[in-house]
Each structure stands twice: as structure tokens, then as C-alpha cells.
Structure 1
């Protein structure tokens, strides 16, 4: 699907959402779905989710604009594994386990930086941007080492549409086209690869699926966000589209009709943020909300125990701040988005965790209007079943 076809598709979605607001309706499926409460607390299921989902599938771990220049790197923890992402002299992005092949110490401190080589602070073994072992301190006294066998452990990595995807399984194969099924065209159209990375904030919450469920519906907007989201966006008014296990969720604004009427019908697909908004979900753990002033990209990392998650909230803008005043404004917006996400969504998630752990109810239930949550849990169960011949969930 090319750019013009994508614009036409978004225009069709805009028209559907305009209808939802006019008729006070929403996207619905034909049934409700019950999910065992134990799935949010069970350590056995939690470990299977780590093994079969987070350690196998491509995870969006960084942005092109975080590592724009040769030598740029990002060192981070991803689901308990130390990961190092590097842009080499050849411009290519590679990913490694951030673990020295001598005694297992990290070769780069967590965070961002730029350097020609990575030197382990424990014994000063050095590695190139391509992961090769290039130097052994006091090599004559150390003994014979085949450097070609002692490089950093490389991870499958691919850079597409302004994002960097990594699999935590060194033996995995990444097929982004097969996995996202055309969805990355959305991000290509947005031009994220040329945006500016402002920074991040980290928050902690309940089980990763409890936290993620909150990103997947707007049924709660009026009751939970009466002063922040609801003034812009009606409650319980969503449109869902599936792209493999990922999805695009449309949220019309109260004033969608008048805002769309400002432009011809063929331009409706270009009116994101001016009549409607999207939350773009990259399965299994990323939520992208593009606002006019700033974009928040949430990365949810499970653990270390089933009742916890660590969420990194990344912030991007189309252009870098031009002066101190703009930088200060951007910092304020980052803090505002962080505070709303934590105080209004994650705090109740922690309460939900206690409720589910209490055993009060055997199951929770997702309504016909909460199709995004249903779809997400159907895909989680599909991966946990380990049956490639089983039919995939469809939106």
C-alpha cells in the first residue's frame, strides 16, 4: 500500500469515527471475552510470556534519531537483558548483549553516548563498533585468545521507518514485513526518522498486561480522565484496525465534524490531531501517541516479578527546540504527560493488581466495545499456545 492509499484509508476511518460521534456509538465486536484473573499474577504464565513473546519477537528498542551519527550508542536493560545498540562507521545499526566476553562485565554504561570503541571498565578489554574484540589488556601475560571467537554476542537488529527493532534471541530471524504487514508505512509517512529525540521518563506499575490494557481503550476516559483527556476526546468512542498482532486505535475528538468540514473530503486522511487522534500499538509492548506538540512512545517492560512493570516514556518532536524557552516548555510537557500516565493510569493499575491477586473474581471481562483489549489477549494466548497451525486472531 502506497502513501496515497494510506491517506485514503485514514480518510475512511475518519468518516467512520465522525459517524460514531454523531450517533454516540463505537466499534463493537459480537461477544464479550473473559480472561482469567490468574493470568495477571501467575509466575508460570509470566515466565512463558517472557520466553515466547519478549525473548522471541522483534522489540522496538530505539529510534533512529537517538543514534543519528556513526559511533552513537544506546545501552539499556530490556526485560532483564543488557542490550547495546550501536551505529557503526558504515552507518549500519547493530545490537549486542552488553556483556564483555572476558568476565561478563558491561562494556558500556547505561544511557547514550558516542565513542570509537567500547572498553570494559573491569579489565579494559576493548571492542569495536561492530562488536569485534580488538584489544586485550596485558595480552602477553594473559595467554592465547582467538579474538574472532570472543566478540560481543550479536542480536538480530533491523532499522526501519525511524525505529530500531531488536530480538533478544541471538538465533531469531527478524521479518518486519511479515510481522507488521504494512503497518510501518504509517511511521514512514509520519517521518519519525527525521524527528528530534527529547529524552525519556521512567515509571513503574503493575503487571505489564494490566498497564497495557489501559492504552487499548477509551471506555474509561470520562471516569478516569475527566479533566485531561475527556475534554478533547469522548469516552467509549474508539475504532480498531489490526496489522498482525499490532493495531491502530482511532479516537475521534468531540469536534470532529466541524474540524473535518474545514477541508475537502479527500483531505480527511491528513487530519490527525485535527479532528481525531491515533494510538499506534506495536505488539507486544509499545504504545505511540502523536500529539501536535510532542509524541509519547511508551515501552512496557515486564518484571522483574509478575506484579511489576517498568515503563520507559520516550518523547519526540518534529523539530528540535530552538532556544532555552522552547526546551523548558518541552521539559514541562514531558513531565505533564508522565504525570498523567502515572497518576491517572498506573496508580489505578496498582490497585487492580491487588484486586486480582485477592482472588475476588475468577475472571475479568472485556466488553464488545473493548475489542482492542480482546485482540491483544487473543494474540498473547496465540503465542503462548505454540501452535503455528492455529488460526491467527483477526480484528
Structure 2
């Protein structure tokens, strides 16, 4: 089935099976994913507002490859690999910050915010270093609705990758939300195990009893669209979520609150370890609203931590050879089918 086909139209009686568990635990598959998925796709970095001023930077890891974006003195936003051209040391620590020259902590090579090599102290003159030969390696950047994305070797534009998402969120006042909180949470499982989990609500009754009690689960719906999966459920009184959760190819999410949202990037650091990086945005950033904001932040993190335990155990079963592929629910696992079809297409397996 083509990657951009909606899955509402699966033929009656057609059975889909879960992916081969070997695709989740083999190191060579992770290397292929790094080359064919993470290097070629647009990766969510965070709020563009973090780089509004000259010298501000944002550094992230993309499946083990460090990159950063920086606002130059000339006002231009540029992206680079976060790797010194001398001996490969990491230049800037992950996260947001501000700097003048970009100075390597290893041998003190320094680079301008344009990527130009400024100096290589104590290098010597036999032979002399030619600065023009050793600029930082560039990375592509693009913005959408206040969010900044980076791509190492993109095969399509950000707009093409987003598919029909802009239409889905056209009426959401995303630009009115301000970035307030960040969080990184980690777990020992393959990134696809967690993504399979995120794009379906079938697990909610068993994994999230509190969440289950706070929604009308019988009305939970999952649909796959070009570039994203949408999950909806009517919330009951008191739930901080608004009842709409989105996952976008290949590895980022967006969930809506009353007066805000969160985004996350599901980032593998190895075949068996994943970091999930969260940014939270709210319309009301006044001190009086801090308690309400923290209810959404801490509530989100509590729900995802419940997911991690089952994902870790699932990964262990895959790695032990204890599991063979089982059937996917036509009612609840359309999102899993869509994600896995995109994986198969990207890896050509």
C-alpha cells in the first residue's frame, strides 16, 4: 500500500501482521535507519523563538549525529554539524545557549557563526592551515508555525514531509503559544517499539488506567493521513488533554491542551536506547497559571513513563527471540500499520 494512502479503506477481512521483531533489535538495521530515515528527514529541533537573538544556538542529537542551529550577527539562521573539522570533537553542548565564537573544547579551534574557521591556535606553519578549506559542514534548516527543523541530507522539502498536517492544524493558534518548559525522558527500547505504542490507543485500558477513566474510550478513533496519524477521544471533566494527539513521520508528536500544546521528538541513540525530548507551549504564561501549566507538563510525563515500562519489556522479548509477529487490530492499529509501512518503504525491506 503506498505510504500516503489512508488506512480507513483497508479491505474487510484483510489481516496485517506486526513487523518482523528482528527489525527492532539488529544493529545493522539501526545503521540503515540512520542513513535512510534520520539523515534524510526533517527533524524537530524546538521553538524558533529560542534563536531570536544574535549568538543564540540550539544543539540537538539526531540518531547519534550532533547538529546545531545558530543566529548569526548578520541575523541569518544557519545550521551545522556539531563536529569540529580537526579531530571530530563536539563543539557545543546539547540544548539552548548563546556564544560568540564557536570554540572547540578539545584543541581550541574556533569558528565564526557563519561556519568559517577563524583560527587553529598552536597548529604550526609546516604546513600552514588554510581556513577556507575547513569550514563547518552545513545542515539545512526550515521553520513551520514557530517550530524549527533541521535536516542533514533532505530528500524533500519540510512542507512535503508534513503532508496534510498544515491543513489539520490550520485553525490551531500555535503562534500564540509561548515555549515554557522542556523535558527529556529516556528508556531502554528501540525507538520503533515506542512509536508503535504511541500511534495506537488500544493499549490505554491496560497501560493507563487513570487516562482510560478520563476519556470516552468507546469513541477513541485512529486515522492515518499523508504524513501523520491522528488519534481522538472525547475527554471527560478534569483531563488536561484536549482529546487530540498527533504523530508525524518519522518521529515527532504534537498533543493539545486547553490553551497550549506539547511537541516531542523520539530520538534513538542506539538500537536499544531512546530519548524523548519534550517542549511545552502555553498561551497563558503568567505566574498565576503556573499550577495549571505544571498539571499538563507533569501529567504528560506521567503518562509516557507508564508507556516506557511495557516498551522495555517488549524490546527484551524481541531481543530474546521470544516473539513472532502477531496480528494488528483493524479497529485500533491503523496508525501502527501506517508507520510500519513507511519503515518498510524507507528501508526497502
User: What TM-score comes out, normalization by structure 1 length?
Assistant: 0.76
- 1:197 pairs with 2:160: no
Provide the residue aligned with 1:368 in structure 2.
330
| 150-159 vs 81-90, which moves further | 81-90
User: SS state of the match for residue 165, structure 1?
Assistant: strand
1:249 and 2:230 correspond: yes
Deviation sequence 1:161-186 (CA, Å, 0-9, x none)? 222222223xx454123222342344
Checking the alignment, whether the CA contact within 8 Å between 2:200 and 2:231 is kept in structure 1 is: no
Partner of 2:203: 220
- Name whichever structure is richer in helix by fraction: 1
- Listed as ranges, the matches of 1:206-217 within 5 Å are 206-217=189-200
8 Å Cα contact 2:103/2:109 also seen in 1:
yes
| Between 361-370 and 208-217, the greater mean CA deviation after superposition | 361-370
**Partners of 1:220 and 1:235 within 8 A in 2:** no
Q: How far 1:211 moved relative to its partner? A: 0.5
Q: 1:184 aligned to 166, 183, 205, which one?
A: 166
SS in 2 for 1:303: strand
Shift of 1:203: 1.8
**SS of residue in 1 equivalent to 2:211:** coil
The Cα offsets for residues 105-158 of structure 1, whole Å up to 9 and x where unpaired, read as: 222222211223312223332222221222333577685322222111101221
Listed one character per residue, the Cα deviations across residues 196-216 of structure 1 (whole Å, up to 9, x for unaligned) are: 222322222211111011211
What residue number does 2:248 align with? 282
- Displacement, 1:327? 4.1
Verify the 8 A CA contact 1:76 1:84 in the aligned structure 2: yes
Name the counterpart of 2:15.
32
Partner residue, 1:16 = none
Q: Does 1:55 align with 2:39?
A: yes
| Structure 1: gaps of 5 or more residues | 1-26, 257-272, 387-395
Structure 2: how far apart are the matches of 1:233 and 1:73?
A: 43
Distance in 2 (CA, whole Å) between partners of 1:78 and 1:148 is: 27
- CA shift in 2, pair 1:174/1:127, >3 Å: farther
CA distance in 1, matches of 2:192, 2:123: 49
Deviation at 1:218, TM superposition (A): 1.3
Bigger Cα displacement from structure 2, 27-36 vs 39-48: 27-36
SS of the aligned residue for 2:108 comes to coil
How many residues get paired?
336
Residue 44 of structure 1, CA deviation: 2.8
Name structure 2 gaps, 5 residues minimum.
1-7
TM-score, scaled relative to structure 2? 0.85
CA distance in 1: counterparts of 2:21 and 2:120, whole angstroms: 52
Q: Which residue number corresponds to residue 297 of structure 1?
A: 263
Q: Deviations over 1:270-305 (max 9, x none)?
A: xxx99x63222221111111111542222111231x
How far apart are the structure 2 equivalents of 1:340 and 1:182?
27
User: Residues 142 and 189 (structure 1 numbering): CA distance in 2 closer, same or farther, change over 3 Å?
Assistant: farther
Shift of 1:381: 0.3
